[in-house]
A and B are shown apart, each in its own frame.
Chain A
Amino acid sequence: MGDLNEFPLSLRLFLQAYPWRRVTPVPWAPLRRPLSQSRVALVTSAGFVRPSQTPFDGGIRGGDTSFRVIPGDAELSELNDGQRSESFDHTGMRQDPNLAFPLDRLRELAARGRIGSVAPRHLSYMGSITAPGRLIRETAVEGAKILTEDQTDAALLVPV
């Protein structure tokens, strides 16, 4: 995997022609303290939502750039798969949300002392965003601010 062959021809052609947003210059924030003392958050593009949260809107042209906050003490079994993309198999992450949002694994790493702590707030985006202007200008900035407010040191980001 890692190549385009898992997709049908029409999607392969789209992805090859798509104007990907090149990151330049590339920002760089080295770890400020050992990971064993760091607060770590997760960010997923799986579009997970809690039952009390507004679902993502798959009808927005260019993609829904909003995000949902998932608290660190959330039960993964309560998360709903709100990702509208039909270009991948959702079965695995519905069986085990850790596949795209490994909060249980992060808790285990905190218990073992591999990381300092699990952040109090994590972020869920819906990744099917073909027009990411608002994501870049607004919702990525807002999401990062939430992690900064929580004094989160590091983040693992997981696409689906």
Chain B
Amino acid sequence: MCNQTVSLVATEMERQGITTVVLQLLRLAAERVGPPRALLVPFRHGYPLGTPHDHAGQHRVIEAAFRLLEDPSRSPPVLEEFRA
């Protein structure tokens, strides 16, 4: 349900002009809900940025999400897989 919650919040933010990217842990939810920009990460629920205290790994996930924010060639809904 967390996947849907953040996607619905992101949707309202985009309506108000805020650029968003959501991480997603469950492909089913990402595909069914279809938020504006989503990065599907290969981690289990509870671990959306990977490993505790792994600063470099967490930065890699965030950087991949930020690249979706910055890409002007995309059109919604964007769903991309993170490759660790």
Contacts and interface: CB of A to CB of B under 8 A. Distances in A.
Note whether A and B form a binding pair: yes
B37 to A, nearest CB: 9
Contacts of A108: 55, 59
Interface of A: 1-4, 6, 15-16, 20-24, 26-32, 34-35, 38, 43-45, 63, 85, 87-93, 95-96, 98-100, 102, 105-106, 108-109, 114-115, 123, 125, 127-130, 132, 135-136, 140-141, 143-145, 147-148, 152-160
Interface residues of B, number: 61
Given A31-B69, A35-B69, A102-B58, A159 B2 contact: yes
Contacts of B1: 63, 85, 127-130
A75 B4 CA distance: 27
Nearest to B21: A156
B66 A35 contact: yes
A153 B12 contact: no
B19 A140 contact: no
Contacts, number: 236
A2 B41 contact: yes
B8 A143 contact: no
Contact of A129 (B4, B34, B70): B4
A148 B49 CA distance: 26
B8 to A, nearest CB: 6
Nearest to A131: B1
Contacts of A154: 18-21, 69
Contacts of A129: 1, 4-5
Contacts of B18: 29, 144, 147-148, 152-155
Contacts of A144: 9, 12-13, 15-16, 18
